[in-house]
Amino acid sequence: MDKVYIEGLRVDTVIGIHDWEREIRQDVVLDIEMASDIAPAANSDAIADALDYAAISERLLDFIRGSSYQLIETLAQQVATLLQEEFGVAWLRLKLSKPGAVPEAQAVGVIIERGCAD
């Protein structure tokens, strides 16, 4: 299985359960792996035949900046759904981190996997 990935996509959003978190914007960081048969793009050398990571990144930045979830679990699920529905991603692994959420940790977060890896 070929994979296209986006690593370290940082975006600010409203995220958190505490009242003070609802008043500020915080960074979240995404690492995404997506199943993609790269052979058509490799053969044609055309972006139209590729899973366009630039377009995906822009869409995710817009979506996440406009969101206001309490839980990173909810945000992760919504991102996965967006990737599957809007970009036809059959399988993905998403690591969503919230740096600074626990002062003693570099980051905390969730890792989810959706779809079939075939």
Known active-site residue 98: yes
Strand order in the sheet with 3-15: 68-69, 3-15, 26-35, 91-99, 107-115
Give the domain extent around 23.
3-115
The list of the chain residues with pLDDT below 50 reads none
Bridge partners, 5 (sequence order): 33
CATH number at residue 49: 3.30.1130.10
Of 4, 32, 56, 98, the catalytic one is: 98
Is the Cβ–Cβ distance between 36 and 4 less than 8 Å?
Answer: yes
Say how many domains are in the chain: 1
Return the structure tokens found at 68.
């206001």
pLDDT at 118: 59
Q: 76-93: per-residue pLDDT in tens?
A: 999 999 999 999 999 999
What are the C-alpha distances in Å from 67 to residues 4, 11, 38, 118? Answer: 25, 11, 31, 31
